[in-house]
């Protein structure tokens, strides 16, 4: 029973934050205050490598549905608060950042879980729940593109070594949007329709934004529209930022099987809960239909710090590169990468201007100096 209860942490945070918007005043800070609280807690608590004992799909998915449905509710109540409370400038900023943060965590993991489901209703809710971060077209590019191309140069969610967070986010947003457009256009063309005709999902995506913000306007006016849209834009930026940490620097030769080591896993006690195991996703990339509560932590994976700690460090590229990811990648190259992957990794290191921790054949790290050993 405790395993089920744990995952209600995410919707409980959303409900408390939404109540803060309803109460107004300094209560609007509750939403964004959840960010440092989770970051500190996740960093201080030990890694959680326990397998879940959950059998009921209904009870396991109820918090996922609640978190998804709370996304538009949260924006609606924030818009109402703007219209009915005399919020200060800083309180409005707090509301914007709070909506953006909760759109990403738990918004992204909850919608991600639903659109990976087999049920049509769940996929529908997962797709349009992503209005919270302006990306109702992400489902196709993620399921078809990312899960096929992960770790290769074709994957817009895999950052090559030396790439900083800022350049990655803008490149990823452009590439993913372009791929989303192309995938749907190709499908329509195969079915005999116009590539960018009315059936293309881009028009439904734009209509969703217009309808949603129109509703916001009738609740809170133009100020609410501007602030809510700003929150959605920030959330979209942060969504791409989280992708940056999930696969950074890992390499897979195109056409080779996807294996557990082609993803990073973050086993923070709290992040596993509020992210519905999206950070425990080695099994997810082997079978994307496995529900979150059946994913088993990979005990042989290279440990990486809390995803929230990684998120914060990425805004300071030297900190992210030198303190967190380079040591992990050096181990990954040595312990997990195939010879072909090591050769590609060595080339990426060279282009990034990083130190070379390989031998000349792309082998498992620097070999010891035999003459030094002989005289040692």
Provide the pLDDT for residue 223.
98
Q: Tens digits of per-residue pLDDT, 106-143? A: 999 999 999 999 899 999 999 999 999 999 988 888 88
Q: For residue 241, tell me if it sits in a domain.
A: yes
User: Please, how many CA atoms are within 13 Å of residue 215, restricted to the half-sphere of its CB?
Assistant: 12
Q: For residue 376, tell me if it sits in a domain.
A: no
Q: For residue 345, tell me if it sits in a domain.
A: no
| 43, 44, 50, 56 alpha-carbon torsion, rounded to 10° | -80
Counting the structural domains of the chain, the total is: 1
Q: Tens digits of per-residue pLDDT, 226-259? A: 999 999 999 999 999 888 999 999 999 999 999 9
Q: For residue 347, tell me if it sits in a domain.
A: no
Residue 260 gets which letter from DSSP?
Answer: G
Is it the case that residue 224 has pLDDT exceeding 80? Answer: yes
Paired with 47 in beta bridges are 268
CA 139 to mean position of chain CA atoms: 13
Q: How far is CA 171 from CA 111, 209, 233, 250, in A?
A: 23, 23, 15, 18
Provide the pLDDT for residue 371.
35
Task: Give me the domain span that covers residue 68.
Answer: 2-336
Q: For residue 327, tell me if it sits in a domain.
A: yes
Is there a contact between 43 and 306 (Cβ–Cβ < 8 Å)? yes
Dist. CA 207–CA 201, nearest whole Å: 10
pTM attached to this predicted model: 0.90
Q: Tens digits of per-residue pLDDT, 295-316? A: 999 988 898 888 888 999 999 9
Provide the pLDDT for residue 359.
65
Q: For residue 305, tell me if it sits in a domain.
A: yes
Provide the pLDDT for residue 374.
34
């Amino acid at each position: 029973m405790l395993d089920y209860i744990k995952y209600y942490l995410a919707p409980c945070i959303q409900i408390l934050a939404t109540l803060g918007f309803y109460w107004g005043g300094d209560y609007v800070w509750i939403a964004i205050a959840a960010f440092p609280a989770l970051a500190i807690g996740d960093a201080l608590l030990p890694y959680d490598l326990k397998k879940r004992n959950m059998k009921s799909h209904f009870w396991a998915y109820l918090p996922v549905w609640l978190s998804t449905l709370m996304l538009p509710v949260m924006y609606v109540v924030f818009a109402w608060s703007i219209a009915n409370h005399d919020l200060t400038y800083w309180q409005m900023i707090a509301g914007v950042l709070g909506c953006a943060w909760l759109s990403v965590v738990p918004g992204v993991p909850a919608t991600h879980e639903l659109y990976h489901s087999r049920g049509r209703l769940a996929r529908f809710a997962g797709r349009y729940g992503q209005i919270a971060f302006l990306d109702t077209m992400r489902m196709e590019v993620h399921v078809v593109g990312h899960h096929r191309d992960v770790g290769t140069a074709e994957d817009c969610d895999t950052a090559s070594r030396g790439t900083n967070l800022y350049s990655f986010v803008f490149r990823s947003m452009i590439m993913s949007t372009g791929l989303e457009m192309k995938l749907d256009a190709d499908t329509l063309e195969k079915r005999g329709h116009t590539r960018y005709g009315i059936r293309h999902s881009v028009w439904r995506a734009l209509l969703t934004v217009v309808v949603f913000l129109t509703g916001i306007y009738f609740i809170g006016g133009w100020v609410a529209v501007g602030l809510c849209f700003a929150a959605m834009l920030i959330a979209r930026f942060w969504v791409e930022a989280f992708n940056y940490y999930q696969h950074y620097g890992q390499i897979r030769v195109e056409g080779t099987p996807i294996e557990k080591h082609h993803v990073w896993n973050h086993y923070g006690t709290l992040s596993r809960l509020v992210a519905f195991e999206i950070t425990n996703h080695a099994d997810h990339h082997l079978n994307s239909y496995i529900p979150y509560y059946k994913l088993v932590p990979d005990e042989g994976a290279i440990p990486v710090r809390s995803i929230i700690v990684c998120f914060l460090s990425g805004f300071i590229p030297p900190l992210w590169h030198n303190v967190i990811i380079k040591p992990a990648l050096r181990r990954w190259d040595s312990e997990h990468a195939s010879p072909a992957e090591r050769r590609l990794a060595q080339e990426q290191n060279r282009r990034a201007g990083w130190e070379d921790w390989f031998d000349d054949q792309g082998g498992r790290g620097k070999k010891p100096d035999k003459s030094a050993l002989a005289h040692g």
